[in-house]
Structure 1
Amino acid sequence: MPSPLQAKLAADSFVITAEVCPPKGSDCAQFLNVSRALSDQVDAINITDNQGANMRISSLAASALLIRDGIEPIFQLTCRDRNRLALQSDLLGAAALGVTNILALTGDYISFGDHPQGKPVFDLDSVQLLRTIDGLNNGKDMNGHQLSGSTTFFCGAAAAPDAEPFELSLIKLEKKVAAGARFFQTQAIFDLKKLERFKKATRHLQVKTIAGILLLKSAGMARYINKHIPGLTIPDIIIDQLAGAPDPAMKGLEIACRLAVEAAPLCDGIHIMAMGREELIPNIVETLKR
């Protein structure tokens, strides 16, 4: 049986997803309160996996808590911290716990995070992880051994419409689809022309695209992203708008609402990354529904 998210996308329904970081600690009360408040606003909630290589509670455990509460998660799984044994074990555990939606990621490099002295794994990359998940869905592990019960994962992958040279990133996207990706969640969109280019270039892949909308807090945040986040560029005009605003945070919300509305005709859904300001997500959702 398909997940509700899978069924909505298959029916060509426009979906809204949002990202929530699990806590850095075992107290999940705030995480659950935020997720419950969003559950009526969005179709699924992405649970990040040690986002930015910063240690937090397991994305699998957090996804299972949402399942217990009747909230649909998208379980983000990165290759950075686990070898192929651990990845497959976590995936089988996710299936046993009722998790269906997976976003397969290579992962940010460990030197970016709060444990830079750690040893990265990267036994697999995102394409190989997608192939592994496809194998589990067909009842086999990576070495072709039969499983006692196959999985039914609905797999997605990350995409970067801003990435240059775009032709090279398109080759990687084609590999992800061939490996089993059925939807893309993109990095934050700030240039609608590049999203339109992305839509045209990926039409032959017949994969759903959920466009990322990032809630900026300040011009400083935007400049930091331009300097440190590969494949993502925030235009100077947006940075100037934030820098000149009496309330940069509210200007960031205004920009996010505008971009969401303008991006909607070019994609199959919107993915909202609020960066700790999840209470503002309903404002973006309401703007989209007008």
Structure 2
Amino acid sequence: MIGIIGIITIFVMVFGGYLAAGGKMGIILKSLPFEMTMIGGAAVGAFLISNSGAEVKHTLKDLGKVFKGPKWKHEDYRDLLCLLFELIRLARQNPVAIEEHIEAPSESSIFSKYPKIISDTEATALICDTMRSASMNYDDPHQVEEVLEKRMDANMHHALHSSHALQTIADGLPALGIVAAVLGVIKTMASIDQPPEVLGKLIGGALVGTFLGVFLAYGLVGPFAEKVKAVTEEDSHFYQLIREVLVANLHNHATNICIEVGRQNTPSHCRPSYADLEEALKTVKQSAA
């Protein structure tokens, strides 16, 4: 919602200010289709040249983050801590029983309580892979933490590609606007024998290209790139919480301490209160009894 409000604000302030100053929209509207074809078409072509098919799909999908915001909300962090509590407690009570849950999470009675988490392939794989490795005696907390850190860095690098691709387009749009403007000037020079009122409209149309390139770069595409980056980085805290809790588990801290470590490493605006989490864990214990 806030993304839509931002876009509306940009258009109202820019064009409202232009009209309030006595500007006429006629010349802009007349030139806009042709300038947008040149600038927008060149930007799309450059985007396709510099990205693979999978990267193009990934970027288009990530544009939704501008309007949807972060995937993981307050209740999702609480649910994650409850899920990890159940898994860690079971692994300590019955190491054999945990295998059916981490080998087939889609059929697990524990994972099935948290459909949003299990629908995320990376979150589920991160939990299951780490707990499976621990059951195979790969349980040195420092080594596991290093492996998880490298894995998440690689995932983050891939996830941020959309932001980098959009920022690259934003960086190129002003130059593409100049290209369109130069073509407009060439067209104007071919009509140099026309009266001043005609030349004025032709020059104004050419300058629309410069305006459009800069406007799209700094008013839309650039902010889109920054928003995608911010949302991606915020969502990464969800996976970092998994790492913190599972590494704490490998340090053989008490189960409640492991969960508290995770709670305190949750971003403040998504962090469940101690009482709220205790109430949720009490419900988990009662359902497991």
Q: TM-score, normalised by structure 2?
A: 0.26
- Select the structure of larger CA radius of gyration: 2
Q: TM-score, normalised by structure 1?
A: 0.26
Q: Which has the higher strand share?
A: 1
Higher RCO (CA 8 Å, separation ≥ 6 residues): 2
Q: Which has the higher helix share?
A: 2
